[in-house]
Amino acid sequence: MITIEGLVKEFRVKNRDKKYIIKKAVDNLSLQVSKGEIFGLLGPNGAGKTTTIRMMTMEMQPTSGKILYAGRTSEADALAIKEMIGVVPQNINFDNDLTVGENMELHARLHHMPKNQRKQRIADMLDFVELSNTVNLMPRTLSGGMKRRLLIARALIHNPSILFMDEPTVALDPQVRRKIWDLIRSLAANGTTVILTTHYIEEAEALCDRVAIVNEGRLIALDTPEAFCQRMGKIAVEWDSPEGRQYRFFDTRKEAAVFAGELEHSAHIRRSNLEDAFIELTDREEGM
Ligand SMILES: Nc1ncnc2c1ncn2[C@@H]1O[C@H](COP(=O)(O)OP(=O)(O)OP(=O)(O)O)[C@@H](O)[C@H]1O
Ligand SMILES: [Mg+2]
C-alpha cells in the first residue's frame, strides 16, 4: 500500500520581470493506493501528474508532505524502496549508444541484479513485451510502439512490486494500446501495483480500479470509474445547439427519452462514461 499525505511541490520560476515567483505544481495532495490496484491519475495538461509521479518515484523531493510505501518513508529506507519501484517515464530516455539488450543490461546492473540472473531476466522481459527479436538493434530504429513496450520491459527488469507509468500509451495505435493494456492487466493480476497517468479517458475506464482526477495540483475527485458514471447519472442525452454541444444526465433511459423527446434538436441517448465525469469536474473547477 502507498499513502500520500499533504504532498506539496513548489517550483521557483522566473517571471517576465526576471523576478522569482513560487509556482505550486502539487497542492496538498493526499491519497492511498492498495496493493495490486491499477490506479489512474487523470487531469488536464499541467495538472501536476508527472510532478506527483516524480516525487513518488524519488526522482524529486517534495516541498512538504509525506509518502509512505507499505508504511516506510524514503528518508529511512531509500534503497529498499527504490528496489520496490519500476518507472515508465513520460519521455523516452534510452541510451542511444547502446543496443536494446545493452540498455536492458545497464538497467539490470543499476539494480544490482546478479550476473547469472541478468541474461535470463532480460530475455524473459523482452519476450513479455514481444520484442525478443530486437535485442541487437539500436533503440532509435524501433517504432514508437516498440519503444513504449521496451520502456515497460526495462521498468520491470528488477521485478518491482509497484510500477509507475506516466502516459504509457501516448500516441500509440489502437492495437498496440490494447496490447499494453493486456500487459498492465497481467501485471496487476500477479500482484503488481500499477499507478498510471493517461489522457485517454477510455483507457482509465477500461483499466483502472480507481481514478483520481487532479486539476491545478489539487485532488478534485477520487472514485471507481463506475461510481463516477453513477454520480453523473447513468444515461447521457447529447445534442447540438447553436451554443455548442450540450449534455444532460439521467438515472434511467426512460427519463432520458422523455427529455430528448421534448428537445427541438435531435439528440443522441447513450450510457454516460468517465469522459463525461472528467469534463464536468474539470470544467466546473475552471469556472471557479
Ligand atoms: N522543473 C520544473 N520547473 C518549473 N515548473 C515546473 C517544472 N516541472 C513542472 N512544472 C510546472 O508544474 C506544473 C505541473 O506540471 P506536470 O508536468 O506535473 O503536469 P502534468 O499533469 O504531468 O501535465 P501533462 O499532462 O502535460 O504531462 C506545470 O505548470 C509545469 O509548468
Ligand atoms: Mg505529465
- Counting ligand 1 atoms within 8 A of each CB, the residue from 10, 15, 26, 51 with the most, and so the one to mutate, is 51
Which candidate, 124, 123, 105, places its Cα nearest to that of 115? 105
Mean pLDDT across 99-106 = 97
* Ligand 2 centre distance from Cα of residue 25 (Å): 11
d(CA 202, CA 276): 11
Mean pLDDT across 132-141 = 97
Reply yes or no on whether the pLDDT at 179 is more than 50. Answer: yes
Mean pLDDT across 173-186 = 91
One-letter amino acid at 60 equals M
Contact by Cβ (8 Å): 185, 215? no
* Ligand 1 centre distance from Cα of residue 47 (Å): 7
Task: State the pLDDT at residue 52.
Answer: 98
Mean pLDDT across 96-113 = 96
Which atom of ligand 1 lies nearest, measured to the CA of 12? 4
Mean pLDDT across 82-111 = 96
Which atom of ligand 1 lies nearest, measured to the CA of 26? 14
Residues of the chain with CATH 3.40.50.300: 2-217
Nearest CA to ligand 1 atom 10: 25
Task: State the pLDDT at residue 283.
Answer: 77
- Counting ligand 1 atoms within 8 A of each CB, the residue from 13, 26, 27, 49 with the most, and so the one to mutate, is 49
Contact by Cβ (8 Å): 171, 248? no
* Ligand 2 centre distance from Cα of residue 89 (Å): 9
Please list, residue by residue across 37-58, b when 16 or more beta carbons sit within 10 angstroms of its beta carbon and e when fewer do.
bbbbbbbbeebbbbbbbbbbbe
Cα distances (angstroms) measured from residue 82 to each of 62, 64, 172: 16, 20, 29
Mean pLDDT across 114-136 = 94
Task: State the pLDDT at residue 287.
Answer: 43
Grid cell 531509500 is found at 78
Task: State the pLDDT at residue 288.
Answer: 39
Give percent of the chain with pLDDT exceeding 70.
98
Nearest CA to ligand 1 atom 27: 45
* Ligand 2 centre distance from Cα of residue 49 (Å): 5
Reply yes or no on whether the pLDDT at 100 is more than 60. Answer: yes
Nearest CA to ligand 1 atom 12: 25
Reply yes or no on whether the pLDDT at 91 is more than 90. Answer: yes
Ligand 1 pocket list (CB less than 6 A): 11, 13, 23, 25, 43, 45-51, 90
Fold classified for 2-217? Rossmann fold (3.40.50)
As given in the structure block, the three cell numbers for residue 47 are 495538472
Reply yes or no on whether the pLDDT at 69 is more than 90. Answer: yes
Mean pLDDT across 245-268 = 92
Which atom of ligand 1 lies nearest, measured to the CA of 47? 21
